[in-house]
Amino acid sequence: MTPLKRQFFRYALPSMLSQLLNSCFIIVDGFFIGRNLGDIGLAAINVAWPITAFIQAVSLGLGLGGAVRLSTALGRGDKEEAALARGNTLTALAAAGVVMSVGLWLACPVILPLIGAKGELYAPALEYSRMICALALGQTINTGVLPLLRSSHKTMQAMSFTIVGLLGNIFMDWLFIQVFQWGLAGAAVATGSSQILCAVLALPTLLAVRELPLRRADFAPRWRMLRGIVQYGISPFGLSISTSVILLITNLQALHWGGTRGVAVYAVLSYVLGAVIPLVTGVGDGVQPLLSHARGAGEWGQLALLRRWGLSLAVGVALVCSVLTWLGRSQLPLVFGASSEATAEGAAAMWSLCIGYPFMAVVRFCSSYFCAVGEPVFSGILAYGEPLGTQPLMLLVLPLFLGLTGVWVAWPAAVALAAVAALVLLAMQAGKQPPAVKNENLAGQRP
């Protein structure tokens, strides 16, 4: 195995595992809620999830935007610029966390009915959302710091902190939901507290990176740097929030065509999808430091190899997940304590996820790749095209002919169209670069 390929897997695999473990926070909540509160609890937390996802998307967008700036600066050998990117990203994360915590806490009673939390779902959804908002600063810092750690060559530490947080979340979910019977508020307290624990561990590690000495001036807002962080963070934000937008629209359609049980079925599907998305997204996010470093250093041969390996790994993982999801389609709904009716319908609809995974892998890797190499327009097209274009169209049209089944078919149809667009944009971008160097060993240096 060449030095470059070893680097590729050293960055990609821990990131995939970290992203998967990070997604398990909500999956663990669903496990305990489904077993203690049943279909109503599952439906309520699923309806309220877009608020949590918005906080996560803003945090991830700022964190990845800062990580791209940091890695690109290191590729040029500019450590002062890299340290400034780290400091300004942390400042932006802290400010965003406070604003979102206060603003969303106040806005929850207005937002929730608009996104489907009505009737029996409103009270538990409000209970969950307000507690999540109260603890949003910890989630913001934790989510944003992890990409910065990976760009600072601390991939294993980032994964370790996520494992610690997940174990804490499992214990606190059991304690607050099953033992103390705090319901959805207990799930929110468990998730928020474990995110705070991760942030407390990760932040000092990031600030102690020897390559980037700590300077107070790096935390003072520099508008040029902040503008660049936001520019590169727009597409990761869109890629992350797209899940929330799709969740929102699908929840509304599932509620319309299938009632509370339809939302509970989609809750099960979304939990399964939520376990696969991080694995696929983790490939692009993990190799982002290598991609940005190669672009900053002008290593076009290295960039071409990383692009090919990353796309192959993402699609390969998606295909494996398709097989596993299909084999476990009858057992997966039972994990979350869904009713017998929701379990049967969820198993019957699981095929739609299996078809969509590989197309989703193409879209997500290409969007991450474009962001990492300084093509925010191409990345933005993919990040926003599906949730704002093809997916709403499919969700509105297909159920008119297929009923509730049309709700499940909409996602694979939308990502298939987006995948075609991604490959076209990838071919256009590759054509603009200098010819790739074929010798893999030329790019074997550690970034």
Q: How far is CA 362 from CA 313, 409, 445, in A?
A: 10, 19, 27
Domain extent, residue 400, equals 3-433
Collect all residues with Cβ–Cβ distance below 8 Å to 80 and sequence separation of at least 6. none
pLDDT < 50 stretches in the chain:
436-447
Domain count, the chain: 1
Residue 152 lies in a domain: yes
User: CA-to-CA distance for 409 and 414, rounded, in angstroms?
Assistant: 9
Handedness of CA 436, 437, 443, 447 (dihedral sign): negative
Residue 106 lies in a domain: yes
Residue 444 lies in a domain: no
Distance of CA 367 to the CA centre of its chain: 13
Handedness of CA 400, 401, 405, 408 (dihedral sign): negative
User: CA-to-CA distance for 271 and 23, rounded, in angstroms?
Assistant: 9
User: CA-to-CA distance for 79 and 45, rounded, in angstroms?
Assistant: 44
CA triplet 95, 239, 207: central angle to 5 degrees? 40
CB 58 within 8 A of CB 94: no
Residue 317 lies in a domain: yes
Collect all residues with Cβ–Cβ distance below 8 Å to 204 and sequence separation of at least 6. none
Residue 166 lies in a domain: yes
Q: If we measure between CA atoms, which residue out of 131, 178, 144 comes closest to residue 22?
A: 144
User: CA-to-CA distance for 244 and 392, rounded, in angstroms?
Assistant: 12
**How many helices and strands in the chain, by DSSP H and E?**
14, 0
Residue 443 lies in a domain: no
Residue 328 lies in a domain: yes
pLDDT of residue 165: 86
pLDDT of residue 317: 94
CB 303 within 8 A of CB 433: yes
- Reduced to 3 states (helix: H, G, I; strand: E, B; else coil), residue 215 is coil
User: CA-to-CA distance for 256 and 241, rounded, in angstroms?
Assistant: 23
On the 0-12 / 13-18 / 19+ scale of CB atoms within 10 A, 179 is exposed
Residue 116 lies in a domain: yes
Collect all residues with Cβ–Cβ distance below 8 Å to 341 and sequence separation of at least 6. 261
CB 77 within 8 A of CB 294: no
